[in-house]
Amino acid sequence: MSHTTGIMFFCLGNICRSPLAEALFRHHAEARDLAHRFHIESSGTSAYHVGDPPDPGSVRVARNRLGLDITSQRSQQLTSDHLSRFDFAVAMDASNLQNARRLTTTPASRLLLLRDFEPDPSLHGRDVPDPWGGGPRGFDEVFDIVHRCTEGLLDHLLTLQAPP
């Protein structure tokens, strides 16, 4: 029997950080031939950019660093329906995690903070910095953080899915 795990990555605008998280988690899953096990989307807690493509900074860093094309993504707003349908919702920062908690009675174990999957435990609990409106270096820093944390998250989810 096949079971797909739904993962919703979210930030504020769904144009900078969470589009990269969606693409990089999918990239890691594809590299391990596991993409079929996941349904992956991203969203923002605000409606500021609904319908917009990712920010040019995120498009550039995804293409330059890993050859990924994220231009077909479109921003959507996170809803309480998403939070009940997806197995896990993964916040880019504490403020948006708080926003999501207000939308739902979803158990805390299904609402996650991305940097809790940092390989270095001293970095757990931190925010993925918001690069919006900043210079290009901000997007490279976000890429590095999101790249390693989405891999850590995938490792974690595979331990949950491992047969007994």
Residues in contact with ligand 4NP by CB under 6 A are 11-17, 44, 48-49, 130, 132
Instruction: Return d(Cα 66, Cα 24) in angstroms, integer.
Output: 9
Closer to ligand 4NP at the Cβ: 48 or 60? 48
* Ranges assigned E (strand) in 95-155: 111-113
Give me the least distance between CB of 123 and ligand 4NP, in Å please. 18
- The residue annotated as part of the active site, out of 26, 130, 148, 149, is 130
Instruction: Return d(Cα 75, Cα 62) in angstroms, integer.
Output: 16
Closest CA to 52 of 72, 67, 32: 72
- The residue annotated as part of the active site, out of 11, 16, 55, 115, is 11
Closer to ligand 4NP at the Cβ: 51 or 121? 51
Burial of 6 (0-12, 13-18, 19+ CB in 10 A): middle
Give me the least distance between CB of 42 and ligand 4NP, in Å please. 9
Active site residue 130: yes
Q: Is the dihedral of CA 95, 89, 16, 143 positive or negative?
A: positive
Residue nearest to ligand 4NP (CB): 13
162 CB contacts (<8 Å, ≥6 apart)? none
- The residue annotated as part of the active site, out of 16, 17, 115, 148, is 17
Give me the least distance between CB of 72 and ligand 4NP, in Å please. 17
Closer to ligand 4NP at the Cβ: 57 or 152? 57
Active site residue 144: no
Give me the least distance between CB of 130 and ligand 4NP, in Å please. 5
Closer to ligand 4NP at the Cβ: 13 or 152? 13
Closest CA to 129 of 15, 17, 2, 7: 17
Q: Which residues are identified as catalytic?
A: 11, 17, 130
